[in-house]
Amino acid sequence: SAVISQKPSRDICQRGTSLTIQCQVDSQVTMMFWYRQQPGQSLTLIATANQGSEATYESGFVIDKFPISRPNLTFSTLTVSNMSPEDSSIYLCSVEKGGQGEGYNEQFFGPGTRLTVL
Amino acid sequence: AQTVTQSQPEMSVQEAETVTLSCTYDTSESDYYLFWYKQPPSRQMILVIRQEAYKQQNATENRFSVNFQKAAKSFSLKISDSQLGDAAMYFCAYRSYDGGATNKLIFGTGTLLAVQP
């Protein structure tokens, strides 16, 4: 399994500012993922972050808006830039680790960061 | 592109009773994984159960079992002997077997399960 922590757990920010969310894992992992969960909705993948390479962004998400760092195998940050009220969401970090048998990798999720933009 | 549909936004069950949550999906792939995730009010998402598409046998984890119908692209979750702690949002999710560039999960919109004492 993997124990994941995120900082901050919640924040209230002003329009036009930026917030950096940290994700720390208790063991080394190759793949880390950042998801967004808008109020009352499902999870949408923002990007995949592999250590030593540029993050891969999903359609509708761009690096200028959501820059990601992955300096080592246990840590990643997601920045939400130039925020607007539409960015109010829960942002979740997820990691992939080997599971039971057959080369299966399970995804584990952090507790999330609840962001409110005024 | 793959899609996952959960047609029940909310469900309710009496404690100790059985409830079934529905999930359908669309894919052209033959090998893939299906999952049910639970997200309690505390928000920490946890895996409930996983099914490999190449396995005909339905997965079971204690009180949780699935009814996997590959031809119908249906993947329902049955919770037996429901407990108060089962109250949560349940997400059905799909992942390609190979993964490709990203092993991303594709989530349904979720079913909010309430358990009545």
pLDDT in tens, B93-114: 999 876 554 568 899 999 999 9
Chain B partners of A53 at a C-beta cutoff of 8 Å? Answer: none
Listed residue (B104, B105, B107) closest to B92, CA to CA:
B107
Residue B96: in which H helix or E strand, if any?
A: strand B88-96
Chain B partners of A8 at a C-beta cutoff of 8 Å? Answer: none
Q: Do A111 and B102 touch (CB under 8 A)?
A: no
Per the DSSP assignment, residues forming a β-bridge with A50 are A31
Burial class (CB in 10 A: 0-12, 13-18, 19+), A67: middle
Could you tell me the pLDDT band of residue A102, with boundaries at 50, 70 and 90? Answer: low
Mutation target vs B (from A29, A53, A58, A109; most B CBs, 10 A cutoff): A109
Q: Are A96 and A105 in contact, with CB atoms under 8 Å apart?
A: yes
**Could you tell me which residues come within 8 angstroms of residue A110 by beta carbon, excluding any fewer than 6 positions away?**
A4, A5, A6, A23, A92, A93, A94, B44
Q: What is the mean pLDDT of residues A70-92?
A: 95
Chain B residues 84-113 within an 8 A CB cutoff of chain A:
91, 101-105, 107-110
Q: Do A33 and B102 touch (CB under 8 A)?
A: yes
Low-confidence ranges of chain B (pLDDT < 70): 98-103
